C-alpha cells in the first residue's frame, strides 16, 4: 500500500513537474542527473597543452605575453571546461542558487585535476565569497565546491580566509545622500582653495612686476 502511494505521488510529480535537461530541456527519467546523454557527451575538458601554466589562458608557442609582463600572486591556475554549451548551464545554475549543479561542477574540476596529473592536495582552502554574494545566491558556492572536491580527493577543507566586510554596500538612502553631499562639499572647498591660491599668486606676481 505504501509503495503504491509513493508510486502515485512520483507519477503525479513527473506529470506536473517533469524533470528536464538543463541545456536542451529533454525529458529525463532520473531526477538525480542534470543533463541528458547527448548533452553529457558535449561536455569536454580543456586541453591543458594549449594553455598558459599560470593563468590558463590560450597562448601561442612563444608563451603567454600577459603573464610575462605582470606580477602574479597565484602561480598556477586551471579550468575544467569552456563557458559554453552544457558547461555554461551548470555554471549559470550555480550562480542562480541551484545547489544541484555543485556536484557536477566539482566532478569536472576533479577530472581535469587528475587528467593533468597534478599531485593531490593535502588541504583545500576555498576563496571566501562576499556577504552580498551569499545573500544573492543563498549559499556560499566556493565553500560547497571545495567541500565536494574534498569528498572526491578525501582531503580536509579549511575555510580560513576571510573577506573584508564593506560597510559601504549596506548604506541606507539617507546615509548615501549624506555621503554624496559631503563629497560634493569637499570638492567645492578644494576648488575654492585652489582658486584662492591662484589669485593670490597672480596678485603677488603683479605687485613684484610693478615694483621692478
pLDDT at site 7: 63
Say if residues 156 and 121 touch (Cβ distance below 8 Å).
Answer: no
Q: If the chain, 212 residues long, is cut into consecutive pieces of 10 residues, what is the mean pLDDT of each piece?
A: 60 64 83 86 86 78 69 75 88 86 91 90 87 78 91 91 62 57 65 59 52 52
Same domain, 108 and 189: no
Same domain, 33 and 64: no
**4 within a domain of the structure (yes/no):** no
Residue whose grid cell is 547527448: 38
Cα–Cα distance between 110 and 182 in angstroms, integer? 51
Same domain, 110 and 153: yes
pTM of the shown model: 0.66
Same domain, 191 and 146: no
- Specify the number of domains making up the chain: 3
Same domain, 91 and 115: yes
Range of 70's domain? Answer: 50-79
Same domain, 161 and 91: yes
**117 within a domain of the structure (yes/no):** yes
Amino acid at each position: 500500500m505504501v509503495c503504491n502511494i509513493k508510486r502515485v505521488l512520483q507519477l503525479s510529480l513527473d506529470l506536473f513537474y517533469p524533470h528536464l535537461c538543463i541545456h536542451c530541456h529533454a525529458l529525463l527519467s532520473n531526477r538525480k542527473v542534470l543533463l541528458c546523454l547527448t548533452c553529457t557527451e558535449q561536455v569536454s575538458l580543456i586541453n591543458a597543452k594549449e594553455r598558459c601554466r599560470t593563468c590558463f589562458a590560450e597562448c601561442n608557442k612563444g608563451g603567454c605575453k600577459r603573464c610575462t609582463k605582470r606580477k602574479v600572486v597565484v602561480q598556477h591556475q586551471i579550468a575544467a571546461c569552456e563557458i559554453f554549451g552544457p558547461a555554461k548551464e551548470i555554471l549559470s545554475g550555480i550562480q542562480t542558487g541551484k545547489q544541484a549543479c555543485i556536484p557536477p561542477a566539482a566532478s569536472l574540476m576533479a577530472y581535469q585535476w587528475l587528467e593533468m596529473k597534478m599531485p593531490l592536495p593535502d588541504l583545500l582552502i576555498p576563496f571566501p565569497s562576499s556577504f552580498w554574494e551569499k545573500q544573492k545566491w543563498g549559499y556560499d558556492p566556493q565553500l560547497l565546491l571545495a567541500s565536494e572536491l574534498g569528498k572526491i580527493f578525501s582531503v580536509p577543507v579549511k575555510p580560513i580566509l576571510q573577506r573584508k566586510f564593506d560597510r559601504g554596500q549596506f548604506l541606507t538612502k539617507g546615509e548615501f545622500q549624506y555621503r554624496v553631499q559631503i563629497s560634493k562639499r569637499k570638492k567645492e572647498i578644494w576648488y575654492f582653495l585652489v582658486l584662492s591660491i591662484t589669485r593670490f599668486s597672480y596678485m603677488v606676481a603683479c605687485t613684484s612686476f610693478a615694483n621692478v
